[in-house]
Amino acid sequence: MAPPHFLLVSYPAQGHINPTLRLAKRLIQTGAQVTFVTTVYAQRRMVKPLSVCGLSFAPFSDGYDDGCENKDNLHHVLSEIKRQGTLKLTELVLECADQGRPVACIVYTMIFDWAQEVARRVQVLSAYFWNQATTVFDIYYYYFNGYGDEVRNKSIDPSSSIELPGLEPLFTSRDLPSFLLSSNKLTFVLESFQKNFEALSQDENPKVLLNTFDALEPKALRALDKLKLIGIGPLIPSAFLDAKDPTDISFGGDPFQGSTDYIEWLNSKPKSSVIYISFGSLAILSKPQMEEIACERDDSTLVFPIGGFDPSIIGMFCDALWVEFNLGEHGLWVPVVAFPQGTDQATNAKLITDMWKTGIRVWVNEEGMVERDEIKMCLEIVMGDGERAEGLRRNAEKWKELAREAMKNGGMSDNNLKAFVDEVGQKL
């Protein structure tokens, strides 16, 4: 029997491309073949695309091959991606069949509900790849399935608690994904999420692959009876997880050539003496907020890209909470000062502080600003030698070991992915 052939269709943003490429590599390690599909622009930005036997690329043009300068035009861009992507994906499935490489399953990322429509039309299996926390997925599911009014009504009052079946802890409006709040201006993004969930409801046997592991979110992975949620993560390079392959340090989709000039200087620093500050590539902080942050920078605080240094020098994150970093994307299983900026980050902050207990969250003043004294206090707590800081470090180390257990050969996430591939293969 020929190995199953997967089409992985990724939204053209780095936070989607990285874990999807990692998923591609994991699928190939099971013996599968993978074709990676994204836009021409996203493909061109990869300075050194992942190159492994069994992986091919099939980019499509959305009409913005050189990028889109007008960020206010995102709604139109998404419409063009859907129109052109639907045509490309349909053609690709037919071409692969003619070439003797029939597609067994289409795996698609969030916002790309049209990929599931293509799969249904050409009678190919599909699976939804969710690269945020499972808890965030469940919150959206409940919002679109009977709990929308409750979430909207209670989110008006910051003190009101929102309880959702099977999930813990309780949430308030400050813990919800920003797309669910009345202040959300990107309503079309929420509509895209809703279409994703509607597409899943039309699937006879809906499957969702999640970049998490069972020990991290056990209740969230089992909260929904109508969907099969499969934890297959954390999807991070081997060098930053189990160190079995020290050369495996990149996802393969980096949009720039990293500098190494700072490595020697960083490696000269004492253990746990450097603070890594990251707000992601999409966050836009106001000038006053940047000034508040800058006031707390000293010799132990540095903003830098990751790669090639001894991770033991890192003492903590000051982070906007992309989930890949929360799961130790670069092997930096250290305490976090949660500084959420939007999308899923507020929920991640809630999980980090109340569930995983690996960090603390900054408090925002009435003007929406995090003041320098608040930043200083949080840094001192997390970087200190007190019992609280030690507890955060112990918890971070605990999740690191559990993640390694999940991803090792025969671990829960490893077995989950292999079982998924086997099930797809049996449908051929």
Q: Residue 86: phi, psi to the nearest 5? A: -60, -45
pLDDT, one tens digit per residue, over 224-243 is 999 999 999 999 877 667 66
Q: Print the SS3 string covering 311-325.
A: HHHEEEEEECCCHHH
Coil vs helix vs strand at 242: coil
8 Å CB contact between 40 and 60: yes
pTM as predicted: 0.90
409 Cβ partners below 8 Å, 6+ apart?
none
Q: Residue 419: phi, psi to the nearest 5? A: -65, -40
Residue 382's pLDDT is what?
87
In this structure, how many other beta carbons lie within 10 angstroms of the beta carbon of residue 159? 7
The share of the chain scoring above pLDDT 90, in percent, equals: 57
Active-site residue identified among 5, 16, 75, 330: 16
Alpha helices in 30-73 (DSSP H): 40-44
Q: What is the pLDDT along the chain (428 residues), one digit of tens a residue?
A: 689 999 999 999 888 998 999 999 999 999 999 999 999 999 998 867 777 899 999 999 999 998 877 656 788 889 999 999 999 999 999 999 999 999 999 999 999 999 999 999 999 999 999 999 999 999 999 999 999 999 999 999 988 999 999 998 899 999 999 999 999 988 989 999 999 999 999 888 899 999 999 999 999 999 999 999 999 999 987 766 766 676 666 565 565 555 667 677 777 877 777 777 776 666 677 888 888 877 755 544 444 444 444 555 455 555 544 444 444 444 457 788 888 888 898 999 999 999 999 999 999 898 889 998 998 898 888 888 899 999 999 998 899 899 999 999 999 999 999 999 999 999 87
Q: Which residues pair with 314 in a beta bridge?
A: 274
Residue 308's pLDDT is what?
46
75 noted as active-site residue: no
pLDDT, one tens digit per residue, over 239-266 is 667 666 766 665 655 655 556 676 777 7
8 Å CB contact between 41 and 67: yes
Domains along the sequence of the chain with CATH = 5-239+410-426 (3.40.50.2000), 259-404 (3.40.50.2000)
Buried b (16+ CB within 10 A) or exposed e, 102-128: ebbbbbbbbbbbbbbbbbbeeebbbbb
Residue 284's pLDDT is what?
74
